[in-house]
Each structure stands twice: as C-alpha cells, then as structure tokens.
Chain A
C-alpha cells in the first residue's frame, strides 16, 4: 500500500477540483488531487462549453449574472487559449415577446453586461445562419470555453507549481481519527492497488458525486441531479453563440466550438442512483433538433455527429430534502462549522463559468484552516498556454497544423512543434493532431489511454469519429508508454475508445452518421478483425479477471465502508 502525506487532498478532477489544486499550489500549499476516472470526465466535460456573459441569467438571477460577467472578463485574460471571443446574439423569434427585449437589456445593464441592440438585418450580417424570421437581436459578450483544455491547463500549472495529480483513483473511504478528517483511502481502478493520502484538509469537489463522499462521513448532502442532453453538429454552422431572448428554456443555446457546433440543453430530473448510467433519450433529440432549427434553420439539414448528456449538480441547502430550496449558486461548507467535523470542506453547485471563483472561495476556507495567509492570485495569473506570445513558425510545419496546435495549447505548442519530421506527421486529419502532440499529451498532460488523449487533443472528435486516427494513435500510445516503462493493453484500450465514440453516435444513428458507422464497423471488424482482439485480451494472462477483481474489490470495500458507517 502506498501512502502520501500532504496538506490538502482534493477529491474530483473536474474544473473546480483542478482550480482548487492550482489555487493551493500558487499559494504554496502542498496539495494532491485524486480523481476516480480521468480529468474533466464528469459534468465539466458534458455541457455547452459556453463562456457566459451572464446575460442568460440577467433577468432571473442578477447575482449569478454579475458573477458570470466578472469571471468572463477574467477568463478571457487568464485562459485565452481556452476561450473564443465569439460574442453572442439573443434572438427574438416570432413566437417570442418582443417586449422581453427591453427587460433583458435593462437587467443586463444592471449586472454590468454590455449590450448592443441590432436590427434583424444587422444580426444576419453578423450571423448569416441565424433564423431570418427573427424580430430583433441583442449582442452580448458571450463566448466559448473549452472545458477539457481549461481543466488540463489548471492541472498543468498546478503540477508545475509542485502539486500532484492521481487519476483513476477512486476514494473508497475517508480517514477519520478522533472526530477529525485526516485524509482519504483510494483504490487504483486500473490496477487494484490501494493508495492512502493523508492530509490536514480534505476538499470534496466531486460535484454530483460529492453526496457519496459526504456519506463516507455520515453527513447528509442532498443532490438533485438534473440531466442535460446536447447534440454535436458535424461542422461549425454558426460563428456566434445564439440564444433566445426569453426566459431560459430547453434547447435554446447554439454554441460554436472548435470545428463543430453544439445545441442544448434539455433538463430532466433523474434519480440519484442513475447518475452513472444516464443516456440521451430519442424524444430529447427531437426537441433539440426542433428548437435548434428555430435558432439556425440550417441545423435541420446538417449532420448530427453525436449526442451526449451530463448531470447538473444542483444541491439542496439547509438540509432540505424536498428539493424546494435548490441552489444554482455556489455552496461551500466547512463541515467543522456546520457538522462539527473538522478537516472536511465541501464545494458544490456553481457552473463551469465560475469554477475559478469556486476554487478561490474554497481555497480561502482551506487556507484559513491551515493558518496560512497567502492570497489568491488566480484571477491575474495566466494559465500555461495563455500568454498570447506568438510562437516562431517553423518552415517545416504546415500552417493548419501550427494553427490547430496553438489553438489547443497556446504557446506550449512550441514544445512539440519543434520536433523532427516523424513527430510532425499528422495522426488525426480531422483535427490536425500530430504525433508530437500525442506524445506531449501523454508525457506532459498525464494521458494514459486513447480516451484520455481525446480530452487533451480532440483525437477522434471530428467528423470521422476516430475511424483512422484510433489505430495510429494507439501505436504512438503503445510506443510512448513502453518508453516510460508502463504496461498497457492496447487492444482493450482501442475497443474502449471505439465504444465511447459509439455511445455518442448511437442516439443519432441515421443519415451520414449511420453511413460513417457502417464504414467504421466494416473497417474494424471485417478488415481488421478488432472484436476478436477483445476476445483474447480477455483470455490473455487472466487480465480480464484482474480487472473484474479490481471492480469487485472497489465494490467490496465500498460495502464494508458503508456497513461501518451504518
């Protein structure tokens, strides 16, 4: 068993957890982050990726609106390589009340959000694919925010400032001694190895899964999971964020992002027990397409690339179990104060947009408890990649490769663009990812598998959904991990990658998506015989048993833990 000593252990590798880790590291507090899967795998990576201006909340929730616009300006500076300043339009369609526009502009102005009233003609000039039947439009400083890149950049900066990150480590219990929380016990879900992290402060930043962490300490935190589903369109059909100028409702935001556009979201309550098994329903798809077409009619004629859904972590405050007092704001609880249990701090609620603020507020509490008095600097300190320094363009690097690399990694792209010609060969043509970028993501950004690589590089996120690049990247992954002396079962990894891609395609399996799937199926099964590889990865030296045992081990220790608590 491995034991690590630190000041703070952060549970959860979403944007908030990553933000806290960075904030701690910048304040000189020793910190370790544990995450049961990969970074940004939960709610963080399953939303619009919208850089809110706050306009969406201006009429209904002035406080959130103010938070948003403040963070909006901060992120444009500290995370410029994760942000695209597209601006947004709030459209009034024939079925909407034009009178709402006035209310909207006033509320925005109260929150400090700049607006510009446009005629339909002016709006169409800016966004030709917007619905031409609109009655009017208001321009606001919305933008896009890449959650994977943002989380990764926070982690990278934290690690460069001495923090430690451990992915695929599931917390199975809290260490509680004399009524004080002293750390966490984890299990490596890949190897089954037990890992203990002892710390003076434990931060529960597990989002919706935080309820389970609190249960380890017999604390009651009630989450009210609401599922939100989205569709990814095959290409970028809009260049500005499109919203409806009315009270927020289902499927009324269309966001451009990288090479694609996203329409979402729906909102449906789901039982807490089902949060790990949610999927997109086919009637949700109908709603998303129907409403999306109203924002941009071209959407109805475009190929849908995939569908996905996430869970909003709405938290009930003051022990209310009915769900009436649900907060959409930031909730921070020092359990020393609220439950007489020192050593544990829970952060919940909030939005991707306010991850930094949540991290600041949480780290303030932690910092006070640790009696350090270093101040938060995350609002001014730029993330790695955001320096806006132009990197030297090597003549041997093609322009699209260079632009894509810098778009994703900012000035850090220089680290892998200067390699030899082999490292410059393009692995994924949809997203212009080079071999060097893949190696960089494995070596510097803590990617262990093809699925991890997708979150750090957009591998397999383009129109072909990993058809060709999966094999190519598998080869690079195997070679790089071998160099690091790490064991790997690449056939299993490849199948898992294809399966995660399939999960998103399945709900939208018609038209070109089915055509592409037919091609991918043909390639992997008929040409390459990939499913038989899974067979022997099962039979191979009992590896399947190993994994099953690990899962069983995790379940067992969970059960034991719960029994003890009860």
Chain B
C-alpha cells in the first residue's frame, strides 16, 4: 500500500499530524496499536505550565522562550515560537469543528486544572466541561464547593480530594464538602458500580433517565453549592451534552474531573479526532503495530506491520509518533535506551543508575522522561549519525523535553505534529509542481517531435 504520508502512532501527535495532512489532501494513513497516552491524560492541553522554580506559569509562551534559552534542543526549539502559536490556534479551530471546543482562560494565558486528588495543575486549553481557574489571584470566587462521587465507583476519591482542596491557598475561606450519592440500580443498568471503571459506568449513565435521577440525587445530597466537582463518568461520546443537561436539571455549575485511568476526557478527544481524520479520508489501521522499518540510502523504504506482514507499506513521508516508554516508542534494555522501530539515534548513553531520581515524586524530572530521539531542525532523526530524509519524529518519542514536570506534553504533541505536517505539505507541493513541470515539459517535447 502506498501513502503520501504514513504515521506510526495514533496518539495526540499522530492524530494532529494525520488530520493536518489529510486536510491538505494528502493520502494519509495512521498505524495505531490501540489506546494512546490520551487514555491516561487529563483531557486538557498543557503547553508550558511550570517554570524552573516549580511555579505555575501564567504565560506559557513566555515560559517557552525562557526555557529555550537554557534548553535550545527542546522540541519547541525545533518548531519555533511563531509556529507554536499557529499550531495552537489551528488546534482550537479544529476543536470547534469537532464540536469539542478547547479554550484558554484568556488568550495566551494558562489556567489551573483541578485534579482528582484535589491538587492544582497548570494547563493551557481545557474543554467546556471543566471549570476555568485563574492562576493569578488567590480567590476562586466560590463559597461552597461540593465534591461528589457515585457510591461504589472506585476510581475517584471525593474525601481525599476534599481534604487536599481545603489545604490549598486558593480554597481558603471556601467551604468544601464531599458527598457520595447512591444511585438506584435502574440508573446503573442493574450493574454494580463497584465492578465498573469510568468507561463502563459512562455507558450506563448515558441516558436521559439516568441524568434526571442523578440531578435529583445531587440536589438532595448537597444543598446549595456554587460548584460541583464530579468524576468524569458521564458518557464517552456525548460528555459535554450530558453535563450541560445535568447542570440544567440540577441548577448546579458542574465541572468534571479526570479520574484514575482510563480517563474519559482524554478518550473523548481521541474519539473525536479519529472521527475527523476518518471523515477527511484518512485511513486508520487500528490494532496494528509497526514492527520494523527498512532504512536504505538515507530513506525509509518500507514499513512492515504485525497484522499485515505480507505487504509492506510504502510512503513518501513517514512520521514516527510512537510515544515514549509507556507507549513502547522507546525501550530500555538493561544497559541502554533505544528507539523501538528503526533503531534511531537517541540522546543518551548514560548508565542505568543515572536514569532516575532516588525520590519518586519531588518535583524534579526523572532523567528517563527526557530521553528520546535526536532530530534536526525539520524534526528528521538520524540513524548511525546519518539523517533519514523522509522520516519525521513528533510527540513524546522526541528527546530533550520533560513533559511531566514542564507540563508540556499536549503542546509538544500538537505543535510538532502540526509542524511536521506543514513541512510535508510544503514538500509534497514542490514535488507535485516538479511533477507537473516534468509532465508539461515532456508534453512540450512531444509537441516538438
């Protein structure tokens, strides 16, 4: 099978790149193993959330500028600030097109997201189903906040969240209460909520009847509240609509919190982006896995996949969006780090004891999170020190970023995915032009003859 662009990896970076390529009319395919990192994400888009002193950054673009002074090899350095701006606004337009609008609290400003554990994390874009919390100023503007769970649902801990929220400076003077509501089994499809994770539970709750019962129970359980925080368990596909419905019926302002994985808000974004890619004529090869790529004469010649090893896949441009360790894009052998599909050059040859910190969580990035592929200014990697001409690396397979501590994973995925696509579109246009010129000059020759 022959493509204009073939993407390995169906996470946020791969989908963004695929959609942008397909929008430009390129014949595009995505090989996707299954769920991506989006299934474990908050569903908001971080761009650059945390500064060098672990402070929450108000202006992510300024934050990127500062970070690049110290770390010019960062993926953002390859994309460039102007392109990051363009990529982010392109993504916001796309999010409106797929009817899952993402927005910042104000143009170019970060906001705080409330986590399921009751902590605050800086982020840039959030979907309409989540409350916008300003980073500046220590007042939330709320007087009474209720954290509510459905009895039996294991992957959200309202009492923990309540306890931690109350310790936040932002929530001083705010009354925070927690409640657990027991739903009748008719609202749960006669299933025991103690056996369901978020996705299954959301299927049971995705009905008008369940929503109206939930609204009644909410009102009875919490009384007055300016804000109700609910675990994200209301419908995978129609989450925002269901939330709006519940809000209207109950009279509460409601914000959802991404639970322990799987995270519905992330899955929702994944689903909508896949639908868009499909609608644009892209081909999603789901459940398949790129096994091996053959690189000869500085170019990827073909890709073989696990599910289709008889027929190699060929493309003018290959995009590697295979993720980091979690997704299998990077692999740690006992004494070295390698890129799993092509064996590309990576940015580390350090010994194992240097891969991580002694403390698991102390706000300092583990070295392994910064490991990844080395690329040039067009995001092309090297293999054995030689640039691979038609291969582009995007998202978290790239080295030199600290996505977790910086709070930058989503921004890196979107901006590198978009920038690689733009580069490919440009090259494809030149190729086409050359091809057209060639044909026309051949025709001229014919004429002359």
Taking beta carbons and an 8 Å cutoff, which residues of A are in contact with B?
Answer: 282, 421-422, 424-427, 435, 468, 471-472, 474-475, 478-479, 490-491, 495, 498-499, 501-502, 506, 509-511, 514-515, 517-519, 521-537, 539-540
- Write out the residue numbers on chain A whose beta carbons fall within 8 Å of the beta carbon of B116: 527-528
User: How distant is the Cα of A530 from the Cα of B192 in the complex, in angstroms?
Assistant: 29
Given contacts A510-B332, A511-B333, A526-B404, contact A518 B368 (CB under 8 A): yes
Q: Is B151 positioned at the interface, with any CB of A under 8 Å from its CB?
A: yes
Q: Say whether A519 contacts B192, CB under 8 Å.
A: no
Q: Say whether A282 contacts B159, CB under 8 Å.
A: no
Q: Which of B115, B358, B363, B407 has the most CB of A within 10 A?
A: B115
The number of A-B residue pairs with CB atoms under 8 Å apart is 154
**Option from A435, A498, A506, A536 in Cβ contact (under 8 Å) with B168:** A536
Q: Which of B38-65 contact A (CB under 8 A)?
A: 40-42, 46
Q: Is B352 positioned at the interface, with any CB of A under 8 Å from its CB?
A: yes
Q: Which of B192, B195, B352, B363 has the most CB of A within 10 A?
A: B352
Q: Say whether B356 contacts A517, CB under 8 Å.
A: yes
Q: Is B362 positioned at the interface, with any CB of A under 8 Å from its CB?
A: yes
- Write out the residue numbers on chain B whose beta carbons fall within 8 Å of the beta carbon of A519: 40, 326
**Option from B42, B261, B334 in Cβ contact (under 8 Å) with A510:** B334
- Write out the residue numbers on chain A whose beta carbons fall within 8 Å of the beta carbon of B407: 526
Given contacts A509-B355, A510-B333, A524-B361, contact A533 B117 (CB under 8 A): yes
CB distance from A463 to the nearest CB of B (A): 15
Given contacts A521-B360, A529-B115, contact A509 B352 (CB under 8 A): yes
Q: Which of B121-155 contact A (CB under 8 A)?
A: 121, 151-152, 154-155
Q: Is B447 positioned at the interface, with any CB of A under 8 Å from its CB?
A: no
Q: Say whether A282 contacts B353, CB under 8 Å.
A: yes
What 6 additional pairs, Cβ within 8 angstroms, besides A498-B360, A528-B115, A533-B118?
A435-B194, A472-B154, A472-B157, A478-B163, A529-B117, A533-B164
Residue interface mask B18-52, A partner, CB < 8 A = 1: 00000000000000000001001110001000000
Given contacts A491-B164, A522-B326, contact A425 B258 (CB under 8 A): no
Taking beta carbons and an 8 Å cutoff, which residues of B are in contact with A?
Answer: 37, 40-42, 46, 115-121, 151-152, 154-155, 157, 159-160, 163-164, 167-168, 192, 194-195, 258, 260-261, 263, 324-326, 328, 331-335, 352-353, 355-356, 358-363, 366, 368-369, 403-405, 407, 409
User: How distant is the Cα of A517 from the Cα of B405 in the complex, in angstroms?
Assistant: 15
CB distance from A443 to the nearest CB of B (A): 18
Q: Say whether B360 contacts A502, CB under 8 Å.
A: yes
- Write out the residue numbers on chain A whose beta carbons fall within 8 Å of the beta carbon of B359: 499, 502
**Option from B152, B167, B195, B332 in Cβ contact (under 8 Å) with A511:** B332
- Write out the residue numbers on chain A whose beta carbons fall within 8 Å of the beta carbon of B121: 526, 529, 532
- Write out the residue numbers on chain A whose beta carbons fall within 8 Å of the beta carbon of B404: 521-522, 525-526
- Write out the residue numbers on chain B whose beta carbons fall within 8 Å of the beta carbon of A478: 157, 159-160, 163
User: How distant is the Cα of A77 from the Cα of B303 in the complex, in angstroms?
Assistant: 61
- Complex A-B, nearest 6 residue pairs according to Cβ-Cβ distance, in ascending order: A425-B194, A529-B119, A502-B360, A475-B157, A531-B361, A518-B325
User: How distant is the Cα of A306 from the Cα of B405 in the complex, in angstroms?
Assistant: 25
CB distance from A97 to the nearest CB of B (A): 32
Q: Say whether B155 contacts A530, CB under 8 Å.
A: no
User: How distant is the Cα of A491 from the Cα of B260 in the complex, in angstroms?
Assistant: 16
User: How distant is the Cα of A532 from the Cα of B325 in the complex, in angstroms?
Assistant: 24
User: How distant is the Cα of A530 from the Cα of B41 in the complex, in angstroms?
Assistant: 14
Q: In chain B, what residue has the closest Cβ to A478?
A: B159
User: How distant is the Cα of A36 from the Cα of B263 in the complex, in angstroms?
Assistant: 41
Q: Say whether B353 contacts A533, CB under 8 Å.
A: no
CB distance from B46 to the nearest CB of A (A): 8
Q: Say whether B160 contacts A474, CB under 8 Å.
A: yes
CB distance from B323 to the nearest CB of A (A): 10
List 13 A–B pairs whose Cβ atoms lie within 8 Å, in order of A's numbering: A421-B152, A421-B194, A468-B261, A490-B160, A510-B334, A518-B325, A522-B326, A522-B404, A526-B46, A527-B263, A531-B362, A532-B121, A533-B118
User: How distant is the Cα of A471 from the Cα of B157 in the complex, in angstroms?
Assistant: 7
Q: Say whether A532 contacts B119, CB under 8 Å.
A: yes
Q: Say whether A422 contacts B151, CB under 8 Å.
A: yes
